[in-house]
Amino acid sequence: MDDSRTEVGRAVRHDGAVLHATGRARYTGDLPLPARALVAWPVTSPHARARVVSINAEAALAVRGVTTVLTAADVPGLNDTGPIRHDEPLFPSEVRHHAQAVAWVLADDVSTARRGASLVEVAWEPFMPLLDLAEAIEAGSFHTEPQWMRRGDVDDVLAEAGTSREAVVVEGTFRLGAQDHFPLETHVSLAIPESDGRIIVHSSTQHPSETQAVVAHVLGVSLNQVVVQCSRMGGGFGGKESQANAWAAVAAIGAAKTGRATLVRLDRDRHMTMTGKRHPFLARYRAAIGRDGLLRALDVELYSDGGWSLDLSDAVTGRAMLHVDNAYFWPAMRVRGQVVRTDKVSQTAFRGFGGPQGMAVAEEVIDRLARAAGLDPHVVRARNLYAATGDAGTTHYGEEIGDGRLRTVWSELEESSSYVRRRGEVRAWNASPEAVRRRRRRGLAMTPVKFGISFTTTFLNQAGALVNVLVDGSVQVHHGGTEMGQGLQVKLSQVAADALGVPLTAIRMMATRTDVVPNTSATAASSGTDLNGGAILAACDTLRARMALVAASLLSADGIDVTAAEVQFQAGAVLAPSRTEAQVTFADVARAAHRERVSLSATGFYRTPNIWFDRETGKGRPFAYFACGAAVTEVEIDGFTGEMHLRRVDILHDAGASINPLVDIGQVEGGFVQGMGWVTMEEVVWDASGRILTHAPSTYKIPAATDIPSEWHVSLLPRAAQAGVVAGGKAVGEPPFMLALSVREAIREAVASFAAEGSPPARIELRLPATAESILNAIDAIRG
């Protein structure tokens, strides 16, 4: 690739950018509806847990414009949409979370459907719901058996540390809240019956193949009878990895029953009350540090609140376990993970997929250990960063880090952000009369990110592509990945352009369809470019080899025989160094190939090599590589109100040899702000009956344009090409999210400075999210 890196590496704008800005990008909900299309509205449960005694739809059916009311009796196949375990009845006889749908009204328009739904009478037999995570653990309510990962003898190390003057042991419990994905586009699916009755579903889904499978299951047909298409999503963030399926299934059942196109679009309130969030976690830990600042042991139990069904929670919990080290070498570790069952929405994938929770626990423990030992948390972080190789460069599950980038990023960012100087300035300012009089304090903190790249379920690490060269030299590229804003399509078009030696304008990326590229994995785990890019490269290699043969004969003349091996494809030109005067165009070669009956269509397949994980032993090499980064955040907090202001953020992130710096920096910035929302302002609140109270942007606050850092420096690590990966670029979708943990630690630093001179607090408790109220509570606890 490196010899022809022409389009790759350029800061090309998103392929949809002009369509977005001009309002012409069409999303699933914007598709023109076929004639007589129906619109669905759910009949939802007012109880978090109840048996459905009866459903009487008579009054709804009497409304003009209501066509039918879908219930379990209308499911031709399996009444279940669970992606891994069949524990998600689509039309349940017993509801397991508040606002769960038990029936769907189909009508000519949305307001009629909504009115109809309000008239469906459901008789309920309510039960006491189990809502609180700690209570559910106590009650033994679990979806899974515990998973374990172990390194060394934690009990021994902790026991020894507990009796040593040279070490400090802490223990505690830490709870983390949920986060709503809040894609601006809510869940939406449009099912259209074809003339022969088969169904095509347009769905805003990150996983068209699974949506296809779920639709086929509920319809009781084989997979080949169903086609799912996704052109683009208005945001996904993991929320549409498994949880787009149910709505597609309802639409398909409606279309199958009525023979009419059926649109299911959740409005914001339904979206927020009916679909899963980032998992709340409860962690119990014991940990030890030496007075020398070296970590000694971490013994941690991670309980994820899975909600009513398993969904992807087992893998989410597994990834939390794989990231509870964050970027630090803990010589002894024991990690226990388990998915708890509660009567809430089914928590699901969300950018980071358990990684953020695991790493937040790590930083919580680091801070506690440091303060308990009277050490500077920054020094503890720096001292314990993983080495490149050897024992101190190997994770608790046995994977070697492999390079020294963590420490490189750390020291380069410390330097470029002027961390040391600013640390002094912050301390001086905090002691100033102005800070004291106005009861304001600043805090500065730096945290690292190490994030493993690959699906931890190894078989998912595969992808397919279909690349078609047309006779005029233009190219259509199909693959299994979906575009949700992350810039997958533009990056892959750059990869394809260079692979074929054509300009970017010759490449057209096609909508994702299950009848073109089958049996795909979700676009998730930050893997979209790595996997689909690998498949596209394979297809392009095949095409180039075929076309090189054709080109060789085109270029051969005047007694010079050009061999296929020396044919070069460059920016639309095809040439051979031995005969530069005979240059032809890519289109010439395509036309010639067609005449010579050489196929211009090729599939490609990719599977990530050399990865494995043994769940029984908790050991393996689950990740192809690690993406890393670090962030320095400076905040100012108000001691009267607890309000926080982000003064400055510096980020250095490792995106490998960036395929598209514009896109990658956008991912870093967007991920950081989303993470900042999680750690500071976003809070999903359930009431005592299990109702979600924060079900709209009026009550659930995500960061706005005025919330970003006043000063913000984002850089990508230079000279960082990653071996063995498409174009040397690294996955960048999820890792930057966790850079926002630096915001939380900066707040903690600022809170700490409210302590009286000379008596640093041995512990600073701070909720996640650290809302103004939480910050004020923390300050009041320090000030006494």
Partner 1 sequence: MSPRAVGTIGDAPAGAAPIEDGPSFTLNGAPVVLEGVDPHESLLDLVRRNGFTSPKEGCAEGDCGACTVAIRQTFAAASTYRAVVSCLTLAGQLPGTEVWTAEALSPAPGPDGSIGDLHPVQAAIADGGGSQCGFCTPGIAMSLFASYYATVQPESPIAADAAGETIAGNLCRCTGYRSLREAAASLAGVGPKRPGDPFAARLAKPMPPRPAARVAGGGSVAYRPTTVEEALSLRADNPDARVVAGATDVGVEISRGGKRFPALIMLGSIGALRGVSRDDAGTRIGACVTMAELKSWIPAEKFPVIHTVLPWFGSRQIRNRATVGGNLMTASPIGDLSVAWLALGAEVALQSRAGVRWVPVGAFFTGYRQTAAMADELLIAVRVPPRGIPAGSRRVEWVHKVARRDRVDISTVIAAYSIVVDGAGVVTDARLAYGGVAATPVRAIGAEKLMVGSRWDDSGMAAARAALDGAFSPISDVRATASYRGRLVGNLFDRCLAETAIG
Residue from 4, 5, 17, 615 in contact with partner 1 (CB under 8 A)? 17
The reply on whether position 1 binds partner 1 by CB under 8 A is no
> Would strands 568-570 and 38-44 be described as parallel, antiparallel, or unpaired?
unpaired
CB of 218 to partner 1, least distance (A): 27
The reply on whether position 86 binds partner 1 by CB under 8 A is no
- DSSP annotation string for 95-158: E-STT-EEEEEEESSHHHHHHHHHH-EEEEEE------HHHHHHTT-BSSPPEEEEES-HHHHH
Residue from 714, 741, 747, 782 in contact with partner 1 (CB under 8 A)? 714
The reply on whether position 607 binds partner 1 by CB under 8 A is no
Number of Cβ atoms within 10 Å of the Cβ of 153 = 13
Residue from 161, 248, 369, 702 in contact with partner 1 (CB under 8 A)? 702
Query: Rounded distance, CA 337 to CA 143, Å?
Result: 11
- Do residues 56 and 111 make contact, with C-beta atoms less than 8 angstroms apart? no
Query: Rounded distance, CA 203 to CA 190, Å?
Result: 6
Residues touching partner 1, count (CB under 8 A): 82
Number of Cβ atoms within 10 Å of the Cβ of 223 = 15
684 closest CA partner among 697, 704, 702, 700 = 700
The reply on whether position 58 binds partner 1 by CB under 8 A is no
CB of 446 to partner 1, least distance (A): 19
Number of Cβ atoms within 10 Å of the Cβ of 432 = 11
Residue from 38, 133, 154, 233 in contact with partner 1 (CB under 8 A)? 233
The reply on whether position 778 binds partner 1 by CB under 8 A is no
Residue from 312, 539, 743, 776 in contact with partner 1 (CB under 8 A)? 776
CB of 494 to partner 1, least distance (A): 15
Residue from 486, 520, 608, 753 in contact with partner 1 (CB under 8 A)? 486
> Would strands 199-203 and 188-193 be described as parallel, antiparallel, or unpaired?
antiparallel
Residue from 482, 694, 742, 753 in contact with partner 1 (CB under 8 A)? 694
Residue from 640, 721, 724, 783 in contact with partner 1 (CB under 8 A)? 640
Q: Which is nearer to partner 1, 556 or 777 (CB)?
A: 777
Q: Which is nearer to partner 1, 40 or 575 (CB)?
A: 40
**Could you confirm whether 749 is annotated as catalytic?**
no
The reply on whether position 59 binds partner 1 by CB under 8 A is no
Residue from 148, 643, 715, 760 in contact with partner 1 (CB under 8 A)? 643
The reply on whether position 432 binds partner 1 by CB under 8 A is no
CB of 639 to partner 1, least distance (A): 8
Number of Cβ atoms within 10 Å of the Cβ of 259 = 11
Torsion of CA 50, 56, 62, 65, to 10 degrees: 40
DSSP 343: S
DSSP 686: B
CB of 668 to partner 1, least distance (A): 8
The reply on whether position 7 binds partner 1 by CB under 8 A is no
CB of 18 to partner 1, least distance (A): 5
579 closest CA partner among 593, 563, 594 = 563
The reply on whether position 305 binds partner 1 by CB under 8 A is no
The reply on whether position 665 binds partner 1 by CB under 8 A is yes
Residue from 59, 123, 420, 685 in contact with partner 1 (CB under 8 A)? 685
The reply on whether position 166 binds partner 1 by CB under 8 A is no
* Nearest-10 crossing angle of helices 661-680, 741-752: 50
The reply on whether position 269 binds partner 1 by CB under 8 A is yes
* Nearest-10 crossing angle of helices 355-372, 661-680: 60
The reply on whether position 705 binds partner 1 by CB under 8 A is yes
Q: Which is nearer to partner 1, 377 or 642 (CB)?
A: 642
Residue 175 CB burial class (10 angstroms; 0-12, 13-18, ≥19): middle
The reply on whether position 247 binds partner 1 by CB under 8 A is no
Q: Which stretch binds partner 1 (CB under 8 A): 219-227, 242-250, 290-298, 688-696?
A: 688-696
Q: Six-digit token pair at 228? A: 């799912």
Query: Rounded distance, CA 258 to CA 191, Å?
Result: 11
Q: Which is nearer to partner 1, 421 or 437 (CB)?
A: 437
- Do residues 210 and 264 make contact, with C-beta atoms less than 8 angstroms apart? no
Residues 509-538 that bind partner 1 (CB under 8 A): none
- Taking residues 112 to 151 in sequence order and writing x for each that binds partner 1 by CB under 8 A, - otherwise, the string is --xx------------------------------------
Q: Six-digit token pair at 124? A: 């309920």
The reply on whether position 561 binds partner 1 by CB under 8 A is no
Residue from 699, 721, 724, 783 in contact with partner 1 (CB under 8 A)? 699
- Do residues 780 and 772 make contact, with C-beta atoms less than 8 angstroms apart? no
The reply on whether position 18 binds partner 1 by CB under 8 A is yes
483 closest CA partner among 75, 751, 183 = 183
The reply on whether position 783 binds partner 1 by CB under 8 A is no
> Would strands 167-176 and 94-95 be described as parallel, antiparallel, or unpaired?
unpaired
- Taking residues 362 to 401 in sequence order and writing x for each that binds partner 1 by CB under 8 A, - otherwise, the string is ----------------------------------------
Instruction: Give residue for tokens 């960082």.
Output: 720
- Radius of gyration, CA atoms only, the chain: 28
The reply on whether position 549 binds partner 1 by CB under 8 A is no
The reply on whether position 571 binds partner 1 by CB under 8 A is no
Q: Which stretch binds partner 1 (CB under 8 A): 82-90, 299-307, 666-674, 717-725?
A: 666-674
363, 683, 734, 749: the active-site residue = 734
Q: Which is nearer to partner 1, 111 or 416 (CB)?
A: 111
Q: Which is nearer to partner 1, 8 or 714 (CB)?
A: 714
CB of 37 to partner 1, least distance (A): 13
The reply on whether position 555 binds partner 1 by CB under 8 A is no
Q: Which stretch binds partner 1 (CB under 8 A): 140-148, 189-197, 352-360, 485-493?
A: 485-493
Residues 435-454 that bind partner 1 (CB under 8 A): 437-439
b/e sequence 469-503, b meaning 16+ C-beta within 10 Å: bbeebbbbbbbbbbbbbbbbbbbbbbbbbbbbbbe
First to last CA, the chain: 62
CB of 687 to partner 1, least distance (A): 9
- Do residues 199 and 256 make contact, with C-beta atoms less than 8 angstroms apart? yes
Query: Rounded distance, CA 187 to CA 235, Å?
Result: 10
Instruction: Give residue for tokens 């530069």.
Output: 580
The reply on whether position 356 binds partner 1 by CB under 8 A is no
The reply on whether position 487 binds partner 1 by CB under 8 A is yes
Instruction: Give residue for tokens 């299994």.
Output: 480
Query: Rounded distance, CA 403 to CA 389, Å?
Result: 7
The reply on whether position 579 binds partner 1 by CB under 8 A is no
The Cα angle at residue 663 between residues 662 and 664, in degrees rounded to 5: 95
- Which residue numbers are catalytic? 734
